[in-house]
Structure 1
Amino acid sequence: MIWKPHATVAVVVPDGDAFLVVKEESEGAIVLNQPAGHIEERESVFEAACREALEETGYRVELTGFLGLYIFRSPHNGVTYHRYAFIGKALEKVTNELDDGIIESQWLTESQLIENKGMLRSPLVLQCVQDYKAGREFPLDIIREF
């Protein structure tokens, strides 16, 4: 068997003290996550991040920075995820139709995420917010796609 990590993207979208998150169903549980998902074949990580944000929140986003690459080995399903985390700016809400499994999008503060820590899809949700608040940001051109 060949080991293959799951390549995913996520977007931290701040607005003042709040962050755009999605409430979604995952493996029978209701969880909170950044707009996030898998990269599709022949799709750049930039395209994937913008697409996932739109599909899961209804907002068009502009990517403004790269937060980092996060590696998470899920104790629940044994899958290793490689998460390309971006910083984005919400432009406009263009639809209320959201992906299957998405219950709603909402704006939550870091404190609210901490209060709901048991609902976070993974520890990466809070870690990405805390890294953003600590000023972690790289230029988008740190990622080179050919």
Structure 2
Amino acid sequence: MHKPWKPSVTVAAIIERDGRFLMIEEETALGLRLNTPAGHLDPGETPEQGCAREALEESAYEFRPTALLGMYLARSRKNSTGEDQTYLRLAFCGELGAHHPEQPLDTGIVRTLWMTPQEVRASADRHRSPLVLQCIEDYLAGVRHPLSVIYTHPDVLITPA
């Protein structure tokens, strides 16, 4: 029987400050990898809410999405099962808020770093996804879409029982 194709939806924050990008270093089955603050969209939240939540959980920085950079697709194999997986990443840029250094970071996050575009490019072999660099390149190219291009029906905000 054919298994239905269902991409995994993730949200990512592309955060720039003084010419550097906020990156996280995280433990994965393939060793330490670099990523932007990102993670899975949870039930009961809009993509913008999910992005802000993930940024706070992974970096201890508040973040408010103000624009959509784009929607990105990539395939990979799950390390635990070898299963072919497609990821749909919604990447946002926006306003960096307060830092909460006392807040513990998500499980697996080793540290946060502020990296120049050159450092991000030079570390591409350590990126968690090939989408990391593409999102940053799009940000640098000035790509921005209004948040209104994403419509969330109100029933999405009802958390399933």
Same-fold status (TM-score > 0.5)? yes
The amino acid of 1:88's aligned partner reads G
Q: How does 1:16-95 map to 2 (within 5 A)?
A: 16-75=18-77, 77=82, 78-95=84-101
Structure 2 unmatched ranges of 5 or more: 154-161
1:114 aligns with 2:115: no
Query: Higher Cα Rg: structure 1 or 2?
Result: 2
User: How far apart, CA to CA, are the structure 2 residues paired with 1:64 and 1:41?
Assistant: 21
Alignment RMSD (CA, Å):
1.2
For residues 48-81 of structure 1, give each alpha carbon's deviation from its aligned partner in whole angstroms, at most 9, with x where no partner exists: 0000000000000111210000011115652100
TM-score, normalising length: structure 2: 0.86
Partner of 2:106 in structure 1?
99
User: How far apart, CA to CA, are the structure 1 residues paired with 2:120 and 2:134?
Assistant: 11
Return the offset for 1:116: 1.2
For residues 13-35 of structure 1, give each alpha carbon's deviation from its aligned partner in whole angstroms, at most 9, with x where no partner exists: 01121001100011241000010
Return the offset for 1:88: 2.2
- Provide the aligned length of Structure 1 versus Structure 2: 146
For residues 90-110 of structure 1, give each alpha carbon's deviation from its aligned partner in whole angstroms, at most 9, with x where no partner exists: 111024410000001111011
Query: Which has the higher mean CA deviation after the structures are superposed, 87-96 or 122-131?
Result: 87-96
User: How far apart, CA to CA, are the structure 2 residues paired with 1:137 and 1:124?
Assistant: 16
User: How far apart, CA to CA, are the structure 2 residues paired with 1:12 and 1:140?
Assistant: 15
User: How far apart, CA to CA, are the structure 1 residues paired with 2:94 and 2:129?
Assistant: 20
TM-score, normalising length: structure 1: 0.95
User: How far apart, CA to CA, are the structure 1 residues paired with 2:105 and 2:29?
Assistant: 18
Return the offset for 1:7: 0.6
Percent of residue pairs identical: 39
